Amino acid sequence: MTAPTELLEAAAAGFRSRFNQEPDGIWSAPGRVNLIGEHTDYNGGFVLPFAIDRRTVVALRLRDDRIVRVASSFAKEAVEISLDELIPENLHGWSAYPLGVAWALGQFGADLGTPPVANSGKADGPSAPGREPVGALDGQTAEFPELATGSGRGFEAYIESDVPVGAGLSSSAAIESAVGVALNDCWELGFDRRTLARVGQLAENRVVGAPTGIMDQSASLLGERDAAVFLDCRDLASEVVPLGFDEAGLELLIIDTKVDHAHATGGYGDRRRSCEAGAAALGVELLRDVSVDDLPRAAELLDEETFRRVRHVVTEDQRVLDTVHTLREGGPRAIGPLLDASHVSMRDDFEISVPELDVAVDAARAGGAIGARMTGGGFGGSAIALTPHAQIPAVTNAVLTAFAERGFRAPELFVVHAADGARREK
Ligand code: GAF
């Protein structure tokens, strides 16, 4: 982990060297880890992620014309585009994340000064010349904001980050959230954090092309130190739930399996479609509306595979509620069995685990973790192990040994702490 001041200085220095100017300001947003509640967000259910102490930093300056230039420490070339050409079809590669957010802000009401185009006339979102109305994402019932104004001014941005890429810790949501708060300030849009989360989700869905839910951006924007974000993904109501890991002598260990995963292709979208098919067959809009008591009836109505997908989502929603209750009533040492049960459900019912994740979870438990599960969208990425401080060396050793025995690529293990969400730094 890079010290925050070093990251800020690196972003400012990177900005100066690329653009020969001082930035107007510096903003940052964290990655996230999900404690529990997987593949429940796009089903309108519950999640319990937290923002982590790994951040993405954006140095940004408004220009007097309509040119946008973005650069970063992880790409050789700066990308340049005019606000007039800012449409999803023109955005590719890493710059699709920051530029997608600028586009999505326009879809949510920022007047980017783009020329008027025919309005599609849909009534379920804000409407203004120059943008398509945004439909409700994932059946979210949160209100749309008032129309915002924007300056229509171009900008230059330089991005630096110490959120690991590909580890399932939402490096993409960290970019989206950091750019979202930066442009919200500079363009004086006045959007609240929930709206900025939806802006990030829209960029991810329509520009990057990953059919993901609202969890990652919400954690990055709403996180608080030493606490998790308990989010109802239907109405976006959230509560901060203290974790109490420190007081209980616990650490959250990340086990990055180094197995690549991508949500724009493959299994993530398939699982989403299974959930939608299950909901339709059960006559509900979202699986959130199915309870554990409804499962026997669901078993009669659904084919075997769809039933297992539905059972994961329904029981996972309940596990999130149980985890929040347990954290409040019994403390974090009591949530181990819920984490373990979540992993089994993802492995056997939702089938999104991979051998490396299963080995990581089993070895961590054998080494002394009090609960472990894969985290994030699955098919690779990281597992988490809730571990007594004194057991960290034993758990680390157990995981490294188990991976070596199976001939897996060596994983990376590190501890994360719950941190504050996106903010202006300077
Ligand atoms: C990924 C997605 F981006 C989230 O929206 C969520 O669905 C998660 O996978 C699974 O819980 O991180």
Q: Give the ipTM of the model, two decimals please.
A: 0.99
Asked if residue 226 and residue 253 are part of one domain, the reply reads: no
Asked if residue 255 and residue 238 are part of one domain, the reply reads: no
User: For 393-403, b where at least 16 C-beta lie within 10 A, e where not — what string?
Assistant: ebbbebbbebb
Helical H segments across 206-263, by residue range:
215-222
Domain enclosing residue 104, as ranges: 5-116+126-244+420-424
The pLDDT assigned to 123 comes to 32
Instruction: Look at the chain and report how many structural domains it folds into.
Output: 2
Alpha carbons 155 and 101: distance in angstroms, whole number: 13
> What CATH number does the domain containing 344 carry?
3.30.70.890
Number of the ligand 1 atom closest to the C-alpha atom of 168: 12
Alpha carbons 112 and 207: distance in angstroms, whole number: 17
The pLDDT assigned to 129 comes to 36
Give residue for tokens 């991005």: 159
pTM for this entry: 0.94
Asked if residue 93 and residue 161 are part of one domain, the reply reads: yes
Q: Closest Cα to residue 200, out of 219, 216, 176, 184? A: 176
CB of 49 closer than 6 A to ligand 1? no
Distance from the CA of 245 to the center of ligand 1, in angstroms?
24
Q: Is residue 340 part of a domain?
A: yes
Distance from the CA of 165 to the center of ligand 1, in angstroms?
15
Distance from the CA of 217 to the center of ligand 1, in angstroms?
10
CB of 215 closer than 6 A to ligand 1? yes
Asked if residue 198 and residue 233 are part of one domain, the reply reads: yes
CB of 261 closer than 6 A to ligand 1? no
Given a cut of 70, the residues of the chain with pLDDT beneath it are 1-3, 114-136, 143-150
The neighbour count for residue 65, using CB atoms within 10 Å, is 9
Task: Give the helix/strand (H/E) hosting 14.
Answer: helix 4-19
Number of the ligand 1 atom closest to the C-alpha atom of 42: 7
Asked if residue 227 and residue 257 are part of one domain, the reply reads: no
Q: Is residue 170 part of a domain?
A: yes
CB of 212 closer than 6 A to ligand 1? yes
Give pLDDT tens digits for 96-117: 999 999 999 999 989 887 654 4
CB of 317 closer than 6 A to ligand 1? no
Contact 308/278 with Cβ under 8 angstroms? no
Q: Is residue 199 part of a domain?
A: yes
Give pLDDT tens digits for 318-358: 999 999 999 999 999 999 999 999 999 999 999 999 999 99
Q: Are strands 67-72 and 155-161 parallel, antiparallel or unpaired?
A: parallel
Alpha carbons 116 and 70: distance in angstroms, whole number: 25
Asked if residue 392 and residue 307 are part of one domain, the reply reads: yes
Asked if residue 311 and residue 238 are part of one domain, the reply reads: no
Number of the ligand 1 atom closest to the C-alpha atom of 47: 11
Q: Is residue 364 part of a domain?
A: yes
Contact 50/221 with Cβ under 8 angstroms? no
Distance from the CA of 269 to the center of ligand 1, in angstroms?
11
Asked if residue 259 and residue 232 are part of one domain, the reply reads: no
Asked if residue 275 and residue 234 are part of one domain, the reply reads: no
- In degrees, to the nearest 5, what angle opens at C-alpha 103 toward C-alphas 221 and 105? 45
Asked if residue 234 and residue 103 are part of one domain, the reply reads: yes
Residue 58, phi then psi, degrees to nearest 5: -120, 125
Asked if residue 339 and residue 285 are part of one domain, the reply reads: yes
**Ligand 1 pocket mutation pick from 212, 320, 353 by most atoms within 8 angstroms of CB:** 212
Asked if residue 264 and residue 208 are part of one domain, the reply reads: no
Q: Which of 41, 111, 162, 216 is catalytic?
A: 216
Annotation says 124 is catalytic: no
CB of 306 closer than 6 A to ligand 1? no
Q: Is residue 223 part of a domain?
A: yes
Alpha carbons 366 and 326: distance in angstroms, whole number: 23
**Amino acid sitting at position 146:** E
> What CATH number does the domain containing 69 carry?
3.30.230.10
Helical H segments across 37-90, by residue range:
none
Q: Is residue 121 part of a domain?
A: no
